[in-house]
Structure 1
Amino acid sequence: MGAYRLLLAVLVAVSHMGKTFMGLNPGVIAVISFLIISGFVMTSLIERNYQAPGKVGLFYLDRVLRLYPQFLLYFFAASAVLYILFPGSPQEAELTFKNIAASLAMVPLGFYMFGATGSGILPPAWSLGLEMCFYLVIPFLILYRARGVAFILSVAVFIPACLGLINTDVYGYRLLPGVLFIFLCGSYLYKPQAKSLAIVAGTAVAAALIFIAIMAGWIERRPSNAEVAAGIALGVPVVYLLTKLKYHRADEFLGNISYGVFLNHYAVMYFLHGLWPISSYDAYTVAKILGLSFLLSGVSYYCVERPALKLRHALRGGVKDGGRQVRGGETAA
C-alpha cells in the first residue's frame, strides 16, 4: 500500500498546482482514499495493540509520535520561507501567535473554516486536524462496538451535504460527522466478515451511482461532492485489493516518504516561487517541485521520523502480526 499512498500524496500536490482531471480535483479524490486507509490501519493498530480502555491514552501517544515530527519540521520550514521571502503577503500575515499556537495543537486545523486558525501557512495540514478528530473517537467506537450506529449517523449528515441542503464542502468533506463513514469503510475492511463487506461494497456502489447522477446533472454539482463520491467508489475496491498484497520492502520505502511529500510540497512551492516567481506550473516545474519534495521527504524520514518510529515500536512492545513485525503500523500487510 506504500506506493499507493505516495501516488495519493502526488495527486494532492499536483492538485495544489492547479491540475485537474476531466474537471475533477484529484487531490480531493486522493484524500478520500487516505481516509479509507486510515480507517483500516487504525483498526488494525487498536485491535493488535490497544484493545482495552486503559490503553487508549497510549494509542493517542502513538498517533502524536506518528504525526508530529515531520509536521513540526515542515510547518516551521513553511513559516520561515513565508516570513523571509513573502513579507506582507496574506500567508505571512497568518504568522501570528494565535494562529501558530492553534496550528501546533493540530485539531484546530480541521476547523479553519470557522476561524479556529489560518489555512495559508501549510494548507494540506487541515486534513491532519480531521485525522486527529478521527483518532479521538475510533478507539471507543471499536471498544464499545458502536461503529454501526456511527456509520448510520455519519451517512445521515453526508447525504444532505452532498445534496446541498447544508454546506457541501464543510459537512460533506472536511468535518468528521459527514465523513466518519468513509473512515469506517476502511475500518470494516480489516478482518472483514460478510456483513461488513456488504456494507462497504454497498457504500461503494451507492457512491458510484451518486457520482454518475452528479455528472449527469441529476444532482447539482457542488464543491467537492463529485470528487468525494468518486473517491469512495474508487478508493474502497483499490484499498481492499491492496490489503491482500504481501509486504515488500520497496513498497514500504515508498510509503515512508509519502507523508513527507504530502506535507512539504507547499513549502517547496513557496520556496521556489520566492526565488523565481512561477508564472505557470508546466511539466518541468511540476517535476522540479516533486523531485525536490521527494528528496526532502527521504531526508526527513530518516533524520526526523525514524527516531520517533523507534519510540512507537517500543510503545507497542514489539507487537508482531502472524510472526512478522508490522513496520511502523502504517504499511498494511
Structure 2
Amino acid sequence: MLGLIRFALALAVLLSHVPGFDWALNPGVVAVICFYCISGYLMRCSYQRFTRLAQTPVRDFIVDRVLKLFPQYLVVLAITVGLLWLWGASPGFWLMNQQLSPLKLLWNLLLLPANYVFEPLVISELLPHPLVPPAWSLATEFHFYLLLPLLYRWRSLFMVMLLATLAVQIFGFVHESTRFNSDNLGYRYIFGVLPVFLMGYLYADDSGGRRPLAVVLWLLYLGLAGCAFTDTLIHQQRAREVLLGASVALPLLATTMHLRGHAWPGRIKALDERLGNLAYPIFITHCLGFFIIEHVTGMPVRASASFVLCAILVCLLLSMPLEILQRRLERARIALRGFASMKTDQRLDSDTPARINPAPSA
C-alpha cells in the first residue's frame, strides 16, 4: 500500500499550500518528513541492488535518479515558465507571484540549487521561490542521493554524519533566531534533516543488524516531540510539525512494508501502483494547477470546497500525462541500468533482477 500512502502524502502537501486553511499543524510539513523517511528506506534498498547488479553502481545510481526525477520536473518547469511569460506573475497566489530572468531559469534547470532559498544560505537569483515551488524539497532529496553511496560504503562516516546532523537538527529545534531555527536547520537543509532519511535507511538494513538503531532514532524523535508538544525546551511551531512527521513516519513505513507482503488482489495492486506513480506528478504540479485555475476561471486561490475540488481535478489532469511520460521513459531507464525496478510485491532485499515491465517505484 505504499502507492496509496505516497498519493495521500502528495494530497496533504497540495492542501497545505491552499491559503486560508487554519491548520493547527501544517500537514505539508508532516507529509514531506514522511516522504523523506520513505525515501531513505527505498533508496537504501535501491542502491544495494545497484551494488549487486551494476558494473559502476555510483554513477549508474545517480544517472538513474536523474532520469527518474528530471523528465517530469523539466516538463512542469517549461509549462510554468511559458505561462508566467504569457500571463505574468500571479496576483493572488504568493508562490507563483514571481518574475522571470535568464539566471533564475538556469538555477531552476539545475534543480540542486533550488534548496537555497532559505536564510542563511540564499541564492538571491532564485528568490522568492523556485519556479516550481516544491522543488526545494526535491533538491534536498537529491543532496541525499549524492551522499548515499558514501554513507553506504563507509559505516564510520555514516555514524559521524548521523550524529553531526542530528546535533544540528536538535540545535535548530531548541534555538530560535532569524538565521538559525527549526525551519532551516530542522526541515529545509540536508545537514539538518538528513537523520530523517537515515531513519528510513537504517530500517531497511535489517540484514545488517541496524534496524534497532532506526527504532532508537524514532524513540528519540518521539521524546523530542513530547518536549515540543508540552512546550519544554522546544517552543517552535515548525519543530512540532517536523517532530510529528518523524514520529509518524517510521510506524507508517513499518506498517506499509508489513502490508506489502500481503497477497492483495491484482486490481488492488494495480491501483496502488497507479496512485504511487501519480504522487510525484501531483507533488510538482499542484502550484502550477492553482495558477492555471486562478487565471482561467478567475477563481481566487483560497480555502473553499469549490477551489479545493477544482485543484485536485486539475492536478490529476496535469499529472496523468506526466505519469504516462514516465512509464514510457521507464523502458529506456531500465535498459540503461540493465535491471528493472522493484515490483510492488517483490522483496526489497532481493537480488533477482525482475525483467518484465516492473513498477517504476524505486
Superposition pairs for residues 44-83 of structure 1, below 5 Å? Answer: 44-50=45-51, 54-83=56-85
1:263 paired to 2:284? yes
Q: CA deviation at 1:141?
A: 0.7
1:232 paired to 2:246? yes
Taking structure 1 as reference, are residues 306 and 184 closer, same or farther at Cα in structure 2, changes over 3 Å only?
Answer: same
SS in 2 for 1:84: helix
Distance 2:301 2:186 in 1: 33
Superposition pairs for residues 152-301 of structure 1, below 5 Å? Answer: 152-164=163-175, 166-192=180-206, 195-244=209-258, 245-246=260-261, 248-275=269-296, 276-278=298-300, 280-301=302-323
TM-score between both structures, scaled by the size of structure 1: 0.91
Q: Which amino acid is 1:85 matched to?
A: W
Q: CA deviation at 1:124?
A: 0.8
Q: CA deviation at 1:301?
A: 0.9
Q: CA deviation at 1:48?
A: 0.7
Taking structure 1 as reference, are residues 92 and 28 closer, same or farther at Cα in structure 2, changes over 3 Å only?
Answer: closer
After superposition, the C-alpha distances for 1:21-41 in whole angstroms (9 at most, x for unaligned) are 761000000000110111111
Q: Give percent identity, aligned residues only.
A: 26
Q: Which amino acid is 2:116 matched to?
A: F
Q: Which residue of 2 aligns with 1:330?
A: 361
After superposition, the C-alpha distances for 1:38-68 in whole angstroms (9 at most, x for unaligned) are 1111111111123589421111110110001
Q: Which amino acid is 2:81 matched to?
A: S
Distance 2:295 2:49 in 1: 46
Q: Which residue of 1 aligns with 2:145?
A: 135
Q: CA deviation at 1:273?
A: 0.9
SS in 2 for 1:27: helix
Once the two structures are overlaid, the 10-residue window that deviates more, 39-48 or 188-197, is: 188-197
In structure 2, stretches of 5+ residues that fail to align are: 343-349
Taking structure 1 as reference, are residues 194 and 115 closer, same or farther at Cα in structure 2, changes over 3 Å only?
Answer: closer
Contact residue 20 and residue 302 of structure 2 kept, 8 A: no
Q: Which amino acid is 2:329 matched to?
A: A
Q: CA deviation at 1:93?
A: 4.5
Distance 1:56 1:254 in 2: 29
Distance 1:203 1:21 in 2: 31
Q: Which residue of 2 aligns with 1:30?
A: 31
Contact residue 76 and residue 284 of structure 2 kept, 8 A: yes
Distance 1:88 1:209 in 2: 42
After superposition, the C-alpha distances for 1:117-173 in whole angstroms (9 at most, x for unaligned) are 231522111101101111111011102223222211111111111102532211111
Q: Which amino acid is 1:96 matched to?
A: S
Q: CA deviation at 1:306?
A: 1.8
Distance 2:13 2:361 in 1: 19
Contact residue 108 and residue 130 of structure 2 kept, 8 A: no
Q: Which amino acid is 1:129 matched to?
A: A
CA RMSD of aligned residues (A): 2.4
Q: Which residue of 2 aligns with 1:16?
A: 17
SS in 2 for 1:168: coil
Distance 1:69 1:24 in 2: 33
Taking structure 1 as reference, are residues 194 and 62 closer, same or farther at Cα in structure 2, changes over 3 Å only?
Answer: closer
Q: Which residue of 2 aligns with 1:313?
A: 334
Distance 2:33 2:21 in 1: 16
Once the two structures are overlaid, the 10-residue window that deviates more, 145-154 or 6-15, is: 145-154
Distance 1:240 1:19 in 2: 34
SS in 2 for 1:292: helix
Q: Could you tell me which of 100, 120, 127 is aligned with 2:105?
A: 100
Q: CA deviation at 1:280?
A: 2.8
Taking structure 1 as reference, are residues 22 and 206 closer, same or farther at Cα in structure 2, changes over 3 Å only?
Answer: farther
In structure 1, stretches of 5+ residues that fail to align are: none
Q: CA deviation at 1:254?
A: 0.6
Contact residue 50 and residue 58 of structure 1 kept, 8 A: no
Q: CA deviation at 1:240?
A: 1.5
Q: Which amino acid is 1:8 matched to?
A: L
SS in 1 for 2:117: helix
The count of residues paired between Structure 1 and Structure 2 equals 330
Structure 1 stretches of 4+ with a deviation exceeding 6 A read none
SS in 2 for 1:18: coil
Distance 1:56 1:158 in 2: 28
Q: Which residue of 1 aligns with 2:345?
A: none
